[in-house]
Amino acid sequence: MLRLTAKATQFGHKTFTSWLIESAGTVPIKRRKDSADGSVDNSDAMLKLQEALEMGDAVCLFPEGMSRYHPTIAPLKTGVARLVSDVLTRNRDNSDFEVSVLTCSVTYMHRQHFRSDVLVTFHEPMKFRVKDHPELISPVDYDNIRQLTAQMHDMISAGTIDSPTWDLIRTAKLAARIYAPLGTRMSLGDHVRAIRSFVDAFNLEDNTGVESSDTKSDEDNEHPDDTHELKRLRDDLKAYQDQLSHWGIKDDRIRRPLPRHTILSRMVIRLAWSIALLTISLPGLLLWLPVFGTTFYAVHNFKKTGPIFDTWDEIAQYKLIYGLLSGLLVWFAAIVLTWPVAHFSVVLVPAFMWITLRWFEDAVAAFRAFTALFRLLRVGKPALRSMNNKRKDLHSRVMNLAHSIGLPEDPEMHFAEAGGKEKGRVKGSWDSTRRYFSIRRRRKRDWNETLRLYDKVDYPEEED
pLDDT number for residue 38 = 78
Q: Which amino acid is at 395?
A: H
pLDDT tens sequence for the chain (464 residues): 888 998 888 888 888 888 888 888 899 988 887 787 878 888 899 999 999 999 999 999 999 877 778 899 999 999 999 999 999 999 999 999 999 999 999 999 888 788 889 999 999 999 999 999 999 999 999 999 999 999 999 999 999 999 999 999 999 999 999 999 988 889 999 999 999 999 999 996 454 433 333 444 454 455 556 888 999 999 999 999 999 999 999 999 999 999 999 999 999 999 999 999 999 999 999 999 999 999 988 888 777 766 666 666 677 778 888 899 999 999 999 999 999 999 999 999 999 999 999 899 999 999 999 999 999 999 989 999 999 999 999 999 999 999 999 999 999 889 888 877 777 888 877 777 777 777 777 788 889 888 888 777 877 776 54
Q: Residue 215: what pLDDT?
A: 41
The pLDDT score that the predictor gives to residue 444 is 85
Distance CA 217, CA 200 (A): 17
Q: Are 399 and 179 in contact (CB under 8 A)?
A: yes
Q: Cα–Cα distance between 350 and 39 in angstroms, integer?
A: 49
105 contacts 153 by C-beta, under 8 angstroms = no
The b/e string for 36-61 (b: 16+ C-beta within 10 A; e otherwise) is eeeeeebeebbebbbebbeeeeebeb
H or E, element range at 174: helix 166-179
Rounded to whole angstroms, how far apart are CA atoms 363 and 348? 22
Phi, psi angle pair for 137, to nearest 5°: -100, 135
Q: How many CB atoms lie within 10 A of CB 87?
A: 22
Nearest C-alpha neighbor of 334 from the set 318, 351, 322: 351
**Chain-centroid distance, C-alpha 174:** 17
Domain boundaries, the chain: 2-158
pTM (2 d.p.): 0.87
Is residue 6 within 8 A of residue 29, CB to CB? The reply is yes
Q: Which of 394, 407, 462, 455 lies closest to 237 in space, CA to CA?
A: 394
Q: What is the pLDDT of residue 418?
A: 80
Asked if 176 and 194 touch (Cβ cutoff 8 Å), the reply is yes
| Phi, psi angles (nearest 5°) of residue 383 | -70, -40
| Burial environment of residue 136 by CB neighbours within 10 A (0 to 12, 13 to 18, 19 or more) | buried
CA 225 to each of CA 160, 235, 237, 400, 426: distance values in angstroms, whole numbers, following the listed order: 29, 15, 18, 14, 40
- Note the pLDDT of residue 421: 73
* CA distances to 79, 123, 395, 432 from 3, in Å: 15, 20, 49, 41
Q: How far apart are CA 57 and CA 196, in angstroms?
A: 34
Instruction: Map residue 396 onto helix, strand or coil.
Output: helix
Specify the pLDDT at position 462: 60
* Rounded Cα–Cα distance for residues 302 and 296 (Å): 10
Is residue 181 a contact partner of residue 250, using CB atoms and an 8 Å limit?
Answer: no
- Cβ contacts of 260-268, under 8 Å, gap ≥ 24: 260/377, 263/373, 263/376, 263/377, 264/377, 266/369, 266/373, 267/370, 267/373, 267/374, 267/377
DSSP-derived letter for residue 424 is: T
Cα–Cα distance measured from residue 208 to residue 227, given in angstroms and rounded to the nearest whole number? 8
Burial class (CB in 10 A: 0-12, 13-18, 19+), 137: middle
Closest residue by Cα to residue 180 from 395, 369, 450: 395
Rounded to 10°, the helix 224-247/342-379 angle is: 110
2 — phi, psi (to 5°)? -100, 115
CA distance 436 to 163: 34
Strand 118-122 versus strand 104-108 pairing type: antiparallel
Helix (H) or strand (E) holding 218: helix 218-222
Cα–Cα distance for residue pair 375/328, rounded to 1 Å: 42
